[in-house]
Structure 1
């Protein structure tokens, strides 16, 4: 390896420096003409969290169909008014009234608050099974994809 500034072969360890906006690899004698570039720190690869369960199922939460009846019965069993329940979950009384009448479906966050206070389940987990992807027995080649046209030759008469 040769010095990019003076052209002599580099005997010692090469030094990377900045000179007038350019980065050069120079010998130790020419390194005094510029500012030494600090070596980059090697970024440690981050550990990727492995999946706990490798399944082909799709899990989702679904609101139970009779959520309004469950909310009203649980509230009445606890002896609470709509205003009391609203204060406990940090919502307006009108929200509780709309939930109990079925005009409004609770969000996941609101349902969690209601489940905690009323001790009922409003969302249930549904697991849908999916078929594993089928492996192809052959490999796709360029010939399978490309459309080949034949040349037409010109006949001269």
Structure 2
């Protein structure tokens, strides 16, 4: 075995950690780092094999179905974007003016009219109230 630091042939090499690297070194160079102790080997875990019959006989209780937030929400009508746009135009407002009236950003109005975004509940209420339209089924 050759020392990884000085290169001398060593009969007995010692594993040391020097600045985060583990190296096999001779007895003279082992003082340059900390000796790495061997960890005791853990016994391997044995797993119990089951047959198909055993697997079939195991009954699992079904967990209760989770409720989706969409289950309790009213459905947004299809073509909600054009409905918002038509109602806004009937009132003679631009997207910016409508946004100011309902205290929202004009980019939100644009995304809603182009149906790139679903309206949040609070925005639905503001639009329905101000534009006098119905956005939910």
Q: What TM-score, normalized by structure 2, do the two folds share? A: 0.47
In terms of fraction of residues, the more strand-rich structure is 1
User: Which structure features the higher share of helix residues?
Assistant: 2
Higher relative contact order at CA 8 Å, sep ≥6: structure 1 or structure 2? 1
